Amino acid sequence: MDANKLVNMANQIAAFFSAEPDRKDAVAGVAGHLRKFWDPRMRREILAHFDAGGDGMESLVRDALEHYRDDLAPAG
Protein backbone atom coordinates (compact mmCIF):
# COMPACT_ATOMS: atom_id res chain seq x y z
CA MET A 1 0.00 0.00 0.00
CA ASP A 2 0.97 3.61 -0.44
CA ALA A 3 3.57 4.14 2.29
CA ASN A 4 2.92 7.87 2.41
CA LYS A 5 -0.69 7.28 3.22
CA LEU A 6 0.15 4.82 5.99
CA VAL A 7 2.62 7.29 7.45
CA ASN A 8 0.01 10.06 7.36
CA MET A 9 -2.51 7.84 9.08
CA ALA A 10 -0.01 6.84 11.75
CA ASN A 11 1.02 10.46 12.31
CA GLN A 12 -2.63 11.41 12.79
CA ILE A 13 -2.96 8.71 15.45
CA ALA A 14 0.17 10.05 17.11
CA ALA A 15 -1.29 13.57 17.08
CA PHE A 16 -4.19 12.37 19.20
CA PHE A 17 -2.08 10.49 21.72
CA SER A 18 0.56 13.22 21.92
CA ALA A 19 -1.81 15.01 24.31
CA GLU A 20 -1.07 12.36 26.95
CA PRO A 21 1.09 14.05 29.61
CA ASP A 22 3.18 10.90 30.08
CA ARG A 23 5.07 10.00 26.93
CA LYS A 24 5.12 6.31 27.82
CA ASP A 25 1.30 6.33 27.73
CA ALA A 26 1.35 8.11 24.40
CA VAL A 27 3.69 5.54 22.82
CA ALA A 28 1.59 2.69 24.21
CA GLY A 29 -1.55 4.38 22.92
CA VAL A 30 -0.22 4.62 19.37
CA ALA A 31 0.99 1.02 19.36
CA GLY A 32 -2.23 -0.26 20.87
CA HIS A 33 -4.26 1.53 18.25
CA LEU A 34 -2.22 0.10 15.38
CA ARG A 35 -2.47 -3.38 16.85
CA LYS A 36 -6.21 -3.18 17.34
CA PHE A 37 -7.31 -1.58 14.10
CA TRP A 38 -4.72 -2.17 11.41
CA ASP A 39 -4.90 -5.22 9.23
CA PRO A 40 -1.64 -7.27 9.24
CA ARG A 41 -0.55 -6.16 5.77
CA MET A 42 -0.79 -2.51 6.84
CA ARG A 43 1.32 -3.17 9.94
CA ARG A 44 3.83 -5.17 7.95
CA GLU A 45 4.21 -2.37 5.45
CA ILE A 46 4.60 0.41 7.94
CA LEU A 47 7.23 -1.62 9.78
CA ALA A 48 9.03 -2.15 6.49
CA HIS A 49 8.89 1.56 5.80
CA PHE A 50 10.24 2.25 9.28
CA ASP A 51 13.10 -0.15 8.71
CA ALA A 52 13.86 1.60 5.46
CA GLY A 53 14.38 4.88 7.30
CA GLY A 54 10.84 5.83 8.19
CA ASP A 55 10.63 8.88 6.03
CA GLY A 56 8.06 11.40 7.30
CA MET A 57 7.24 9.59 10.54
CA GLU A 58 6.59 11.48 13.77
CA SER A 59 8.83 10.44 16.61
CA LEU A 60 5.90 8.99 18.57
CA VAL A 61 5.20 6.63 15.68
CA ARG A 62 8.84 5.63 15.49
CA ASP A 63 8.95 4.92 19.20
CA ALA A 64 5.76 2.92 19.05
CA LEU A 65 7.06 0.79 16.16
CA GLU A 66 10.36 0.29 17.87
CA HIS A 67 9.17 -0.56 21.37
CA TYR A 68 6.20 -2.63 20.34
CA ARG A 69 7.62 -4.33 17.26
CA ASP A 70 6.95 -7.82 18.63
CA ASP A 71 3.28 -7.03 19.24
CA LEU A 72 2.86 -5.31 15.92
CA ALA A 73 4.67 -7.66 13.57
CA PRO A 74 2.06 -10.02 12.14
CA ALA A 75 2.64 -13.69 12.71
CA GLY A 76 3.93 -15.62 9.69
Binding residues for other proteins, rule: CB under 8 A, are 1-2, 5, 8-9, 12-13, 15-16, 18-21, 33, 36-42, 74
* Coil, helix or strand at residue 59: helix
Helix, strand, coil percentages in the chain from 3-state DSSP, rounded to 5 = 70, 0, 30
Nearer to other proteins, 55 or 71 (CB): 71
Least distance to other proteins from the beta carbon of 69, Å?
16
Q: Do 26 and 13 form a contact (C-beta atoms < 8 A)?
A: no
Least distance to other proteins from the beta carbon of 68, Å?
14
